[in-house]
Amino acid sequence: MKIATYNVNGVIGRLAVLLRWLKDDAPDVVCLQELKAADQKFPWRELEEAGYGAVWHGQKSWNGVAILARGQEPLLTRKGIPGDPDDGHSRYIEAAIDGILIASLYLPNGNPAPGPKFDYKLRWFQRLSAYAAELLELDVPAVLVGDYNVMPTDLDVYKPERWLDDALFRPEVRQAYADLVAQGWTDAIRHMHPDERIYTFWKYWRNSFERDAGLRIDHFLLSPHAAPWLRQATVRRKPRTWDHTSDHAPAMITLELPSSTHRQ
């Protein structure tokens, strides 16, 4: 099973890019972030024509997450994470696909830091960690996928000294990520590339992509049941070169599922 994550930075405006990449790479599951579209505007018909069923949690102009599954409909299990009934941001969606619980998440950016937005980011991280611990207790294969808006270590950012005060790199955020992983999750990309500078995001300005001045902020966390199935983790850099593309590149992992989880 090929599972991908892609912050599309506007699913309507980037739809042609998304469809082109789906045709090229044919992932089995895709977790999208930053839809920036209300639920009724989500392009499910075009994705259906491309061979993908979908569940989504949209929000006008901001945020928004979705999960696509090739040749089938994802079984929706949750929208939003518990802990704050007043949080109206569309940042988490979860579905069951071929016996695996898969979440698409979009953590708050948190800038400027310190400040209210940074405080919200830390609270959201705490809620995610609490819920992730509950998922582990279910004792089922699970994958937490998406844009975490955190560079976990110096290896995950070009020129880390320039990012020390940024909300994506502050010690509180890196510690929150480390604590989440320490519950028993495996960071798939770092596990497969332990010493490599590998990025998933490059700003549009100053030829950041051409200079490979990037950040690794899109992550796959695998539960103990899913981690042994991991065979490959890559960043699909080619779509980042296309016209009118996102500032993120898709990232993808390959899991070798045991026969008992395969679709009947």
pLDDT tier for residue 157 given thresholds of 50, 70 and 90 = very high
97 forms beta bridges with: 100
The residue-averaged pLDDT of 151-158 equals 98
pLDDT tier for residue 260 given thresholds of 50, 70 and 90 = low
CB-based contact 120:110 (threshold 8 Å) = yes
Distances in whole angstroms, Cα of residue 156 to Cα of each of 8, 105, 126, 183: 20, 19, 22, 21
> Which H or E element spans position 76?
strand 75-79
Can you give the pLDDT at residue 264?
38
Query: 26: which 2 tokens?
Result: 């044919």
Query: 55: which 2 tokens?
Result: 């569940």
Indicate whether 263 pLDDT > 90.
no
Distances in whole angstroms, Cα of residue 257 to Cα of each of 71, 145, 147, 226, 236: 17, 17, 24, 9, 22
Can you give the pLDDT at residue 259?
82
Which residue pairs from 175-182 have beta carbons closer than 8 angstroms and sit at least 24 positions apart in sequence? 176/122, 176/125, 176/126, 176/129, 176/150, 177/125, 177/148, 177/150, 177/152, 178/152, 179/129, 180/125, 180/128, 180/129, 180/132, 180/221, 181/152, 181/221
pTM of the shown model: 0.97
> 113-143, pLDDT tens digit by residue?
999 999 999 999 999 999 999 999 998 999 9
The residue-averaged pLDDT of 183-208 equals 97
Indicate whether 216 pLDDT > 60.
yes
> 12-62, pLDDT tens digit by residue?
999 999 999 999 999 999 999 999 999 999 999 999 999 999 999 999 999
* Other CB atoms within 10 A of residue 224 CB: 14
Q: How many domains does the chain have?
A: 1
Average pLDDT, the chain: 97
Sign of torsion over alpha carbons 15, 144, 199, 228: negative
Q: Domain with 53 in it: what CATH number?
A: 3.60.10.10
The residue-averaged pLDDT of 168-181 equals 98
Domain that residue 173 falls in:
2-261
> 73-120, pLDDT tens digit by residue?
999 999 999 999 999 999 999 999 999 999 999 999 999 999 999 999
